[in-house]
C-alpha cells in the first residue's frame, strides 16, 4: 500500500482486518467442503473472524472516546477468539500448519495492534485517536 507520498506504508487496521476477514471466509469455504470437525468449527471461526472488521468499522464512527474504546475492545475479543480457534484447528491437524500458519500469525498481529490502539487511546486524551 502506498501512502500520500508514494512510499510503502503498512495497511491501516481497517484495511488489514478487512483482508483478514476475506481470508477467513476463504478458509471457512474450504472447511465447509470437507466432512468432520472443521465443518462444525467453521461457523464459529467465520462469525468471530469477520466480526473483527465490523467492530473496527463501527469504532471509526464512535460517538465518544468510550464508544471507540468499547468497539475496539470487542474487536480485540473477537480477534483473540479467532486466534485460539485457528490454533486449535492447526494443533488438531484439521488443517495443515503450512496453510494456517500465516493466518495464525496475522491473527496474533491484529490482536497486538488492536491492543496497542486501545492502550494508546486510553492514555492520550487527544481526539486524533478517533
Going along the chain from its start, the domains and CATH numbers come out as: 14-129 (1.20.1440.60)
The arithmetic mean of pLDDT across residues 75-97, rounded, is 96
Statement: residue 1 has pLDDT above 50: no
Long-range contact set of residues 79-85: C-beta below 8 Å, sequence gap at least 24 = 79/52, 79/107, 79/110, 79/111, 79/114, 80/111, 81/44, 81/48, 82/24, 82/45, 82/48, 82/49, 82/52, 82/107, 83/107, 83/108, 83/111, 85/41, 85/44, 85/45, 85/48
Q: What is the percentage of the chain residues whose pLDDT exceeds 70?
A: 87
- pLDDT level of residue 124 (50, 70, 90 thresholds): confident
- Average confidence score pLDDT of the chain: 89
The average pLDDT across 42-56 equals 97
Local confidence band at 7 (pLDDT 50, 70, 90 cut-offs): very low
94-112 pLDDT, tens digit each? 999 999 999 999 999 999 9
Q: pLDDT tier at 126 (50, 70, 90 boundaries)?
A: low
- Is pLDDT at 11 greater than 70 in this prediction? no
Q: Is the pLDDT of residue 128 over 90?
A: no
Kindly report which listed range (32-36, 67-71, 104-108) carries the lowest average pLDDT score: 32-36
Amino acid at each position: 500500500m502506498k501512502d500520500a507520498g508514494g512510499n510503502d506504508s503498512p495497511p491501516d487496521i481497517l484495511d488489514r482486518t478487512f483482508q483478514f476477514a476475506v481470508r477467513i471466509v476463504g478458509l471457512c469455504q474450504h472447511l465447509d467442503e470437507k466432512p468432520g470437525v472443521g465443518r462444525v468449527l467453521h461457523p464459529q471461526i467465520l462469525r468471530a473472524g469477520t466480526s473483527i472488521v465490523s467492530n473496527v468499522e463501527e469504532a471509526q464512527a464512535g460517538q465518544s472516546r468510550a464508544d471507540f474504546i468499547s468497539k475496539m475492545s470487542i474487536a480485540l475479543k473477537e480477534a483473540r477468539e479467532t486466534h485460539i480457534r485457528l490454533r486449535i484447528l492447526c494443533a488438531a491437524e484439521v488443517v495443515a500448519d503450512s496453510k494456517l500458519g500465516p493466518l495464525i500469525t496475522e491473527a496474533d498481529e491484529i490482536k497486538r495492534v488492536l491492543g496497542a490502539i486501545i492502550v494508546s487511546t486510553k492514555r492520550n486524551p487527544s481526539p486524533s485517536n478517533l
